[in-house]
Amino acid sequence: MQDLADRWSEQDTRRRPDRRPVRSAPRIVLEGKSGRHTVDVDEPDPTGSDSADVGPDPIAARGDDAGDAEIPYSSYDVATHGPDPAPEWLIRSLSARDTRLGVIKTGKEADVSLLDRSLPGGPGCLLAVKTYRSSEHRQFHRDAEYQEGRRTRRSRETRAMAARTRFGRDLLAGKWAGAEFQALTALWRSGARVPYPVQIIGSELMMEFIGGPDGAAAPRLADHDGDTQDFTELWHDLVASLEVLAEDGLTHGDLSQYNVLVHEDRCVLIDLPQTVDLVANPQGRTFLERDCAVIAQFFARRGVQAADGELLALHLAGLAH
């Protein structure tokens, strides 16, 4: 064990990006000037049946004569907000309007859409809206394992979730959304590179959109095209965020190349409802080791010599509080 720790210490002397995230300039757009309408399915069906276009441009469908009265006001004033201070790019005015621009991604537990929050005739910002599925259409996998170490105060709600009644499954949707909101809030404050959590209402979570001002989402790590040097820099940048999670006593719980985005040459962690408490969850170390093994194998296949899952797990476990 000591030899492993020494080897990690030797690797750690390499120059790595600053652990504090470098936030990009505000992604300000004019109302109705952005949008992406191609659905990104988590696990596409080989037949192609799961991949579809969401249809006509919703902005164009409104027509040039559509008035502001047809666009709903921002829900920011009635939602639970993200951590203070809020980023300067975020539109918080009560007179702002929320325009849905189409689906970005559909998954087993939730769908992600693009939203433009703008002042009438003024600037706006793009947000990602993650909506957890209804009880009839949702498939949570191994949720009991992830939930270990979390507590629900009301025994009726605990029994309902355990029995997977409709009421209990609906509670789980809100619980998972709330868990992701709390994780994003804590990790943002701690300095991990994650999307800023803007607000939450029930099972709908709004967060910073990671992508370009034209509404094109940042590519997943699995789709990133680069050489060994590029992936080596991304490895060290990702490890810096994983260290922040470990110092907060957490591991991602489902880490892979499919829930890491590459934006401005940095790694951004996404899909965090299942973060695992390394202390309270009896299986915490198992989840940590699996996270490290999966992501290290991906980087190792791309020639990153420092990508060692066993070493990474040992290092992160030593940081956990």
Residues of the chain with CATH 1.10.510.10: 2-21+219-319
| pLDDT tens digits, 281-298 | 999 999 999 999 999 999
pLDDT at 59: 36
Q: Name the CATH architecture for the domain at 2-21+219-319.
A: Orthogonal Bundle (1.10)
CATH number listed for the domain at residues 28-208: 3.30.200.20
User: Residue 69: pLDDT band by 50, 70, 90 thresholds?
Assistant: low
**Is the pLDDT at 38 greater than 60, yes or no?**
no
The beta strand positions in 161-309, using DSSP E, are 197-201, 204-208, 250-251, 260-263, 266-269, 276-277
| pLDDT tens digits, 5-25 | 555 655 554 444 454 444 443
Q: Please indicate, yes or no, whether the overall pTM of this predicted structure exceeds 0.75.
A: no
**Is the pLDDT at 157 greater than 60, yes or no?**
no
Q: How far is CA 294 from each of CA 147, 155, 256, 309, rounded to the nearest angstrom?
A: 21, 37, 6, 8
| pLDDT tens digits, 227-259 | 999 999 999 999 999 999 999 999 999 999 999
pLDDT at 45: 39
* Rounded average pLDDT over 141-158: 48
* Rounded average pLDDT over 175-204: 93
The answer to whether the Cα torsion of 176, 180, 183, 186 is positive or negative is: negative
**Is the pLDDT at 268 greater than 90, yes or no?**
yes
| pLDDT tens digits, 104-148 | 988 878 899 999 999 988 889 999 999 987 654 445 444 545 445
User: Residue 72: pLDDT band by 50, 70, 90 thresholds?
Assistant: confident
Other Cβ atoms closer than 10 A to 223: 12
Mapped onto helix, strand or coil, the DSSP state of residue 250 is: strand
